[in-house]
Amino acid sequence: MRITSELSQLPEIGSKPASIKQENKLEFGQLLKDALYGVNDQIQQAEQAAAMLVKGEIEYHDAMIITEKANLALQLTLAIRNKIQEAYQEIMRIQV
């Protein structure tokens, strides 16, 4: 039948596609490092916005938006750090 000939041409279930490359795989440590650099950049932008506000080069509301974005990013980073720390402590309490 025609259906069986079509099915035989399909790859097996569970086989990896040939187009996936191992080079595209991101490591967890690199992902965290990139996120921390992003937060650091936002904090530096907030500091620059505060300096520009003092000089009168930027509007107050724009400086506040930039500052609050940096503040939220830092709060999120601290919350993630706390969750990771709690998970680590929970794992260390497991009796083997």
Domain boundaries, the chain: 25-93
- Residue 96 pLDDT: 82
Sequence-separated (6 or more) residues with CB below 8 Å from residue 63: 49, 50, 52, 53
Consecutive H or E run containing 76: helix 60-93
- Residue 25 pLDDT: 72
Q: How high is the mean pLDDT in each 10-residue block of the chain (96 residues)?
A: 55 55 74 94 97 96 97 96 96 91
Instruction: Return the residue matching tokens 């921390």.
Output: 36
**pLDDT, tens digit, 9 for 90 and up, residues 34-52:** 999 999 999 999 999 999 9
